Structure 1
Amino acid sequence: MLRLLINIFFLSLVQGSVAGSEPYFSLADYDAASDREYIGAVGILSRPDLGLVITITVQSGGALLLGDPPVDKIPSTAVKRAVCGQVISFPNLPERNLVCR
């Protein structure tokens, strides 16, 4: 139930509906040749100080979708401030930082 409320909260912060050609969020230092195992991986970005737990899905090229279900929308400034530079934890993969463009 809490996860559902967090996702509803997150989706309410998303504004706009057209994503540009450049991803808004991506994995830091993503290398297509050596980081293939991340494509399709689902990780967790946790911000206990804000009471947030956000599901992160990695797409090809290291682009990231936030939420569950994953959202491909222009994020609000508040969302960017909450997630930029934060660590994403992946099961069975090393942690990576989220980078905002």
Structure 2
Amino acid sequence: MLQEIKDRVNQLVNFENASDDDLYYMSKKHINWLIEKAEENEKLIRIAIEASEGCEYWRDKYKQAQKRIQYLENELRNCGYSDTDLDNDFLWEFQDKQVGWEEE
């Protein structure tokens, strides 16, 4: 998109040799095209921001889940379970059945 805008601006007569203060007239079609591209850019920026916020939300949820798992593991240790017990799938399957959790 940026390259398209640069190409259109470079098509202006003597643009490359112009000073920074020179004024140019553009057709309404070109002005509308530039406005359209700027609006598309703003839309893409909004989408990127929303995606970033969504990622941050799920990253926070993941961190909360990790903390919860650590807390529950510590509680199980306090109840007499060893690290070996915690690594045992049987214990997790038992816990899952207790709370009604089933893998799909």
TM class by shorter chain equals under 0.3
> Which has the greater radius of gyration?
2
Identify, as 1 or 2, the structure richer in strand. Answer: 1
Q: What is the TM-score with the length of structure 1 in the denominator?
A: 0.22
Q: What is the TM-score with the length of structure 2 in the denominator?
A: 0.21
Identify, as 1 or 2, the structure richer in helix. Answer: 2
